[in-house]
Amino acid sequence: MIELGGLHSYLVVGAFLFCAGMACVLLKRNVIHMLMGIELIFNASAINFIAFDHFNSMELSGQLMSGQVMGLFVIVLAAAEAAVALALVLAMFQMIKTPNIDDMSKLKG
């Protein structure tokens, strides 16, 4: 029987978030929805890093909080990606007046 607070629970949540994010990126044609999917993928990886760090009982060469540091790094990376991507989306929206990814071919010079 699987305990509720174990590593398996966190991995299931991480896998669900990753699959939902990947489906959002692959199936949606709106740039904002695609960015939301990318954020879900980043959050899934952060959850997995932190869960593996929490449930790792072995101390390997003094790296005590390496999973938490990597999780924080992923969160910072996702925030930077969101800021840059939203700035690009706003610039694109001002030029072509639609967030549809298929209309980006109008931006060719």
Cα gap 8→26, rounded to integer Å = 27
Averaged pLDDT, 2-29: 89
Q: Do 28 and 37 form a contact (C-beta atoms < 8 A)?
A: yes
User: Amino acid identity, residue 93?
Assistant: F
Residues 7-107, CATH architecture:
Orthogonal Bundle (1.10)
Cα gap 80→35, rounded to integer Å = 12
Closest CA to 101 of 19, 30, 5, 17: 30
Q: Residue 4 has what pLDDT?
A: 64
Q: Percent of the chain at pLDDT above 90?
A: 45
pLDDT tens digits, 21-69: 999 999 988 899 999 999 999 999 999 998 888 887 555 655 667 788 8
Q: Residue 1 has what pLDDT?
A: 52
pTM: 0.83
Handedness of CA 2, 4, 10, 16 (dihedral sign): positive
Q: Residue 60 has what pLDDT?
A: 60
